[in-house]
A = this chain, B = another copy of it.
Amino acid sequence: MSNCCDKREEIFRAALELIAEQGFHGAPMAMIAERAGVAAGTIYRYFENKDALIVDLFHEIDDKIGAVIMQDYQQAKPLRERFHHIFTTLARYFVKHPLHFRYIEQFHNSPYGVEFKRDILQRKTGDCHIYRDLLEEGVAQQVIKDLPMPILFALAFGPLKVVVRDHILGFVALEDELIDKLMAACWDGIRR
């Protein structure tokens, strides 16, 4: 457990940093290895190849985000509060982990991410059902507009994605107060 996971962790960290900052182009295996403090060949003990490393790292991050959201998620709370929880948790997570955000963006806009996207959009994997369940519940309760799920999803979380990017580029300071206002506006977008 000791050595094994350390190395894997280090490789993940190195890949995350390099890819998030330089893109897939700017992250050759040799460079990832160097930054991780392991030999190039060692990466292949933990990952079948570069693609697998990239995909695994994505899932690692994706799972982490899912876990954070689920952590204090209370199904019993009113709809809007639950939306508030998801939205602000996501926003704070990305503000706190800009490299994760940028990695996910890189991933989605790459051949690696295309196949995966089919899954996630069909809500087959991950914790996406939380988002969907919430929205579907809202539609059923006639609190949320009766629109196709992808539309609602885009209205609810699309702006967040754009704003986080702007935040990372330094064009807005995404502080708690602003996150709340953004959330409120997104809620305006989806509610009846």
Contact = CB atoms under 8 A, between A and B. Distances in A.
A169 B118 contact: yes
Interface in A143-192: 145, 147-148, 150-151, 153-155, 157-163, 166, 169, 171-172, 178, 181-182, 185-186, 188-191
Interface in A9-39: 22-26
A122 interface: yes
A178 B148 contact: yes
A108 B22 CA distance: 13
Interface stretch (A65-73, A78-86, A109-117, A129-137): A109-117
Nearest to A155: B159
B23 A121 contact: no
A34 B23 CA distance: 27
B185 A189 contact: yes
B172 A162 contact: no
A105 interface: yes
A151 B111 contact: no
Contacts of A169: 117-118, 121
Contacts of A160: 154, 158
A54 to B, nearest CB: 12
Interface of A: 22-26, 105-106, 108-111, 117-118, 121-122, 145, 147-148, 150-151, 153-155, 157-163, 166, 169, 171-172, 178, 181-182, 185-186, 188-191
Given A151-B159, A155-B189, 18 more contacts: A25-B110, A150-B162, A150-B163, A150-B172, A151-B163, A151-B181, A154-B159, A154-B160, A154-B161, A154-B162, A155-B159, A155-B185, A157-B162, A158-B159, A158-B160, A161-B162, A185-B190, A188-B188
